[in-house]
Amino acid sequence: MLNSFFLSVLTFIPLLLQFLPAVRAANASEWRSRSIYQIIVDRYALPDGADPTACNTADQTWCGGTWNTISANLDYIQNAGFTAIWISPVSQNYQGERTPYGDPYHGYWIADASQLNEKFGTSDDLKALSDEIHSRGMYLMVDVVVNDVMALSTTPDYSTYLFKEEYIRLMLYRQSQYHPYCAIDWGNTTSEQTCWLGDSKVPLPDVKTEDPTVVSTYNKWIQQLVQEYDIDGLRIDGQHVDIEFWPGFCASAGVFCIGEVDDADASQAAPYQGKNSLDSILHYPMYNALTSAFTIPGPQNMSAVTDMINQSKALFSDPTVLGNFLENQDSMYNAMVFNFMSDGIPIVYYGQEQGFHGGSDPYNREPLWTSNYTKSTAYEMVTTLNQFRNFLVNTSDWATQQMEVLASTNGAIAINKANVLTVVTNVGSPPQNVSIPVYTKFDAAAILTEVLSCTQYSVGSEGAINVDYSKGGHPAIFVQQTALNGSGLCGNPGRAPPPQVGASTSGALPAANAGVARAMGMAAVTILLSGVLAFGF
């Protein structure tokens, strides 16, 4: 009798599990410790035997990257110290004649969100990629598009899309799950959320995300997608969808949601983070401040960064999980160091670590394999930044501590975050006969190590450090010498966060750190928005 009871219970358990809420795979606090490498699937890696010279970015067509080719080339990302990967959308895209803007190789021209994009592989391929990422202790973020679909006219046939116009026979009218066509009146929130993106050549019909059927369909779809492919986080277009849509969508997903809200005004962007919207957003207000501060030639307005730090603390519910990025491939050393060492989650767009020039669409989607995955100076710097940041988040509460500004001038800013001092500058080159005094919280005569060059400094009276730019405007990260024990940096032995795949562990100084020391220790750095870095000795 007892055995029969237990058998009945065991039989019933699977049925119960179907009705339990989704387990949250990774929340905001877990993503806070991560650094993200962003990939356009078609442009990351080629299958064996493919012609590496055949991809012309200007052609705006597929070049051959797939989920399988990412799986086979993850060492490059892991060896740079990244702990998460963000891939372009996995949903089915437009299938048809070539458009005036080429083919949907990028993955953002959605047709049926509930179906996979066969150009990039099968369901098993995507599962294998997810498994391989997780086997390395990394997280998987997937880009999703719910705001719109893609068409070639403003009166498309919706029969091939996930959402279709329905003819209500008894009422004798058509019920559409799309907003009627209208051009966006930028600056008008209602228009931005209900009118169509794109243009007259390739319009993007706007999905009616306030419609109950749309809401329930999307919520069911995203829950299934996350569970089937073991996804840890979602990147979504935030501002073109009514904000009330997001809490239910993200709750159904059960994972971290970061949205794109392309607004330089922090007061306009901040409402998209919080319990009534999204877990986080890409920090466009800070991106614009960094561009204003570090672009050469440009306004070099360093006070914009100081102001944005203060605004972020005041307006955002949690600045420590905002997404820090340099759009496209703007490989700016000082700004890059700021993004890794300030509040937030650092995000590197593929190619930035190779100094790709980027530019406007389609030239911001270059094939990565033309770099031969070289361990360039920029790659080595990113590796050192990741190694140091991973060490901090794994051994302290550094990630949860909010930064504070210790000093700011027209040419530099010094921030402190949990006793890690970072100084970044827009001085550039040629070298300038200036120095910036920074009064720190360190005791006089304390020995500090500058992490990028492995140079030691002695703290002066009142905790002062003089940062000298007579040899060029390089960034600097200072920490007490003893705090590097176990980091694997600057000759310190011990537990380095995860060792590079296939890399040698011999030698006192890791290769990436040594390379950065060579490049930064005596170099004058010119920082250009194009992503080109020039060094003068």
351-390 b/e (C-beta count within 10 Å ≥ 16 → b): bbbbbbbbeeebebbbbbbebebebbbbbbbbbbbbbbbb
- Annotation says 185 is catalytic: no
**182 Cβ neighbours under 8 A, 6+ residues apart:** 191, 194, 195, 196
Alpha helices in 342-456, H assignment, sequence order: 377-395
Catalytic residue among 42, 148, 206, 237: 237
Q: How many CB atoms lie within 10 A of CB 329?
A: 26
Burial class (CB in 10 A: 0-12, 13-18, 19+), 430: exposed
Phi-psi region of 446 (alpha: psi -120 to 50; beta: other; left: phi over 0): beta
Grouping H, G, I as helix, E, B as strand and the rest as coil, residue 117 is coil
CA torsion angle for 451, 455, 456, 461 (degrees, to 10)? -90
**460 Cβ neighbours under 8 A, 6+ residues apart:** 444, 466
Grouping H, G, I as helix, E, B as strand and the rest as coil, residue 468 is strand
What DSSP character marks residue 158? G
Catalytic residue among 42, 206, 260, 279: 260
3-state helix, strand, coil in the chain (%, to 5): 35, 20, 45
Geometric angle at alpha carbon 469, from 466 and 472, rounded to 5°: 150
Q: Hey, CA dihedral for 321, 326, 329, 331, is it positive or negative?
A: negative
User: What's the rounded Cα separation, in Å, for the pair 57 and 55?
Assistant: 6
Length of the chain: 537
The rounded radius of gyration (Å) of the Cα atoms in the chain is: 25
Whether the bond between 510 and the residue before it is cis, its omega within 30 degrees of 0, is: no
Phi then psi for residue 277, to 5 deg, are -150, -110
Phi-psi region of 507 (alpha: psi -120 to 50; beta: other; left: phi over 0): left
CA distances from 77 to 52, 262, 500 (A): 20, 27, 10
User: What's the rounded Cα separation, in Å, for the pair 106 and 40?
Assistant: 6
Geometric angle at alpha carbon 474, from 470 and 478, rounded to 5°: 105
User: What's the rounded Cα separation, in Å, for the pair 280 and 427?
Assistant: 32
- Annotation says 237 is catalytic: yes
In what order do the strands lie in the sheet containing 476-480?
404-408, 412-417, 420-425, 476-480, 447-450, 455-458
Q: Which residues are catalytic?
A: 237, 260
